[in-house]
Structure 1
C-alpha cells in the first residue's frame, strides 16, 4: 500500500521531524521574546521590595533617602524604567513578596546567606560583617542562656542555625524580623539579650545607642546584593548586574556608599556622650540664633550648629591660640569681611560664620553637586579656598574626580608632603585636618538631624507591602 512504501515513510518521518523542529524553534523564540526582562521592558515598570531602615530607605526630613533608595534611582535611569517601590518593616514580608512573584526583585540591604535556594543574588554593592549586638555592660555572654533576635530571618538563618547547633540552650525571640532600631531599643531596655545583624546596620544606629557593642561572628565580610526569584531566566539579573558593574567602574557606587554610610565609619564613645550632654545644656542658648541665620542664608540650622560645635563646643567666648574667637571661631579678617565688630558676641559670630560658609558654598563650581558641594565648602572653611583648590588640582592630576569629596579628601593630606606642596599655588597646609574636620561635622549633623527632625510628610517613593502590584498575592505581616 501507499503508506508501506519505504520512500514515503521516510519522507513522512522527515517532514514530521522538520515540523517539530520548526515548532520547537518558534516556541524557543517565543520564550526568548517573553523573557523576564522583556516583560518588564514592555510594561516600563520595575517593581522592587525594599526594607525600611535607616541607611536603606528611611524618612529624612522632607523625603525618603538611603543607599538602596538612591541605588534604585540610578538603576531605573540606566534601564530606562520607572521603579515602583514596595516597602516593608519586617523582612519576612520582603521575601514572601519576592518568592510569590509579586515583585521583580528585592533589596533587603542585608548580607546574603550561604545556602539560599529560593533566591538568586546579584553582584554585591556593599560588604559587611555579621555578628551579635549586645550591651557593653554585659559580660561575655554564655549563649545557652541568651535570648536572641534576628534582623533577617532568611539571610541570617545559616548563622543562626550554626549558633543553635553549638549552643542548644540558645533561644530565638519572636522579635525576629523587626527593624534594627526596635531590636537595639529592646536591648537598651533589657527586654532582649542580643540581636544578630549586619555591622552595616549596627553602625548606622550606634550613635543613638552608644552603650551597645558589636561582636563579629564571620571570618570575613559578606556581600550585600540585590535578590531575584530563583529561575533559569536570568535576563533581569544580568541587566541589573551590568548596571552595577558600570556604577562600580565609574566610581559612582563608592560615592553612594560614602554619601549614605560614610559618617558611620568612626565612632567616639566619649565624644558622643559629651555632645549629647552639651546638646541639652548649651545648644538651647543659641538655637534661635542658628535658626535665624538659617532663614537668612537658606542653609540648614542643624548644619550651622554642627559647625559651631566642631569649632567651639558651643562656647560663646572660646579663643584659640591663633587668635580666632567666638562660637564660630571667626578670624579677624573674616569678621571685617562680614561686617561684624565683636566676635565674642554669639549673634555676630554666628552671622559671620554662617554667611562666610554660605559664600564659600555659592562660589563652588556649579558642576559640584550636593552633598559634595557642602562638604567641600566646609573643608574650605577650615583650610581655606586656595588650599582646597590645590587639592582639587592634585586630585585631577591623579586621574580622580576633583568634584567628588570622596576623591578630594584622599588627596588633601598631600598638601603637607614635600613631594607635593612646593608645586602648589598656595603652598604647605595640614591637609589631614579638613578631612577630620568634615568627618566630625557630618557626625554631629547626623546626630542633630535625629534629635531635631524636620516635620516629616509621608512622600515616600513607594508603597507599603499591603498594596501589591498584582492582585491575589497578599502579604501577611509576620511569620
Structure 2
C-alpha cells in the first residue's frame, strides 16, 4: 500500500473515532494528525475567532498580523491556509482537541490549564494585561486597592478572568467578575466600556495600542499582570507541526528587520541602517551556501562593497527572478547584483553603475542534437527557450521581429540555468540561452551541451564582412534612479576594484578555475537542503528544545566552523565549544563527540533562554541568550543594568544593551559592575555574526 493511501486510511480511521461536528458547523470534518497529514492534505486548517462585523483592517492589529503570519507559515509548509471562523472562543481549543482544525492562531494566553489540553508554540508576543475604563468617567480605579467592590466585565473562559481571581485571592479585595458572552471579542467589550455601557474590562497591551489609534474614549488605568505569553496552539500529539511552527516563529521575529524595512533612501540611509541590502539569485554563480559558508561571485563583490561602506551585508533572494526589479523599486533592497546585463529597456526604469563584468549571451544545444546549428539564420522554424524577464528574451524578440521565423518559449521564472541546461541536454528543450560566464563554468565539468552561437542584435553581417563574433554585454549593479549618491559610490567602487587581486581572485575561482564547481553544485544548500554534515542532529535536538535548527547551526558555525575537533585557547572544545566543566553540568559525556556537543550546546541555549524575564519579547531573549552563551550571564546582566542607567532600552540587544556591553571594557564602568571587566566587543561581534549567518541560512534553506 502506498504512503498516500496509508495516510488517507489513517485519517478515515481517526475521523471515524472523532465526535461529530457541532450542529451549527456541519461543514467541519475531524482529522487528527501531524505535519505529514497536513502536507498530504495540502491544507493547513487554521482555527480563528469569527469577526463580529466587517471592519477596516488596521496595520498592527494583532488579529490581522496573526492571520498574515498563518498564511505565510502555511506557504512555508507548501500548503494553503484555510481559515475556520469560530463564533465562541471557548470552542477554539475544543475543536482543536477533536481534530476539526490543525492550529489555533488567536492571541491565546498560555495558562497552566490550557497547557494540559494543547501544545503551545514559542510565544508570538509577551504582553501586559491592562485594566481600562471610559475616559473621564467618575471615580475610576487607579490601583488594585481601588477595585474593592468593583465589577470587571470579561469572558469567563479568558485568561483575564483567571488573572482577576488570582489577584483577589492574593490581595483579599472583593472584586466581582461579570461574565460576558463568549461570542464577544475583547475589542467589542472595550468599545462598550468606552461608551459607558460597561464599567471596566481588561485588554492586552498589544491590542490596546491598536484600539487607541482610533478610539480616544478608552483609558488605560493600571497593569493587572505583566509578562503574559501569547502563542499559537496545536494538538498535544502534533509534535512535528508544533516544531515547524516554533522554527517559523523564531525566524519571523529574528528576521523581522529585513521584512519590515522597505526604505528607498540613498547612501545616508544605508549608513544609518548599518546594512547594505542586495538583491540576487540563488545559484552556483551568484549566491549560495557551501558547507555553511556564503559563496558566489556576486556575493563576494557585494561583500567588498559592504566592507568599503563599513556596513553589514544582507542578501535578499526573491522566489522568482522576475520579481527582482519590482522588489528593488518597492524598497526591499538597495541594489541588484545578479550579473545583470545593462539593456536599453532596463535603463528606462533602473539606473546602472559602471560595469564590473562583460559577458555574451550564448545559444546552447544538446551535444547529441540531430541537426545542430551554428548561426542565427538557422533558427528558422525552431523553438528557443528563455526567461521572459531576461535580457536574452529581449534580444530574441528583436531578432524575431526583424524577420526571424522562430518561436520563443518562456521558461518558468523559478527555473535556474542548471535545469535549462539539463533540459537542453536531454532534448526536452531544443535550444536555450545562457550567459557566457555561467556557461564557461558549466562546460568545465559537463559535455552534454555545446555552444551553437552568440546572440547579437542587430545580427552580424556575413562572415567575410565582420570582425567580432558578438558584442559583449555590460554587467553592472542596478539601483533606483533617485539614489544618485549610491550610484556614484558604486561607480567609484567598481573603478577601484577592477584589476585588484581580490576581484581577480574571485573571478578566477568562479569562471576560470572551476574544478570544484561540480562538488559545490552537489552540496550547495539550495539543492541539497543541507548546511552541514550534522543537520539531522541540529534538527533532532532543536525540536526537543523548541528552537530553530538553522539558528543553532549558525551558532555552531560561529563557534567551530562545524569542526568537531576545534579547541579554543580557554579549553572549550567541540562543535559548540563547551568547556569540559560546563559539558559535565549539562550531562554531555564527551563534548568532542558531535552529537554530545550539539545536545549540550542546544540544551545550554535553552536554559539561558528560559531563565530570562518573560516580559522581554522572544527575539530579544534569543539575542541575550546568545550573548550570555559567549560572555556569561553575569556580564549580560551587568550590561542590561548599565543600559538602563544610560537611558537605553535594557530589554533590547541591538542598538541598546550591546552599546552598554562595549562600555564594560572601560574602567569607569567595569569597576562598579558586579561581574567586572569583559571584552565587550566579543559578545557584540558574536551576536551580530550569528544573526547575519542566520539571515543567510533562512534565505536559502527552509526549516
TM-score under structure 1 normalisation? 0.46
**Larger-Rg structure:** 2
Point out which structure has higher relative CO (alpha carbons under 8 A, 6+ apart): 1
More strand as a share of residues = 2
What TM-score comes out, normalization by structure 2 length? Answer: 0.32
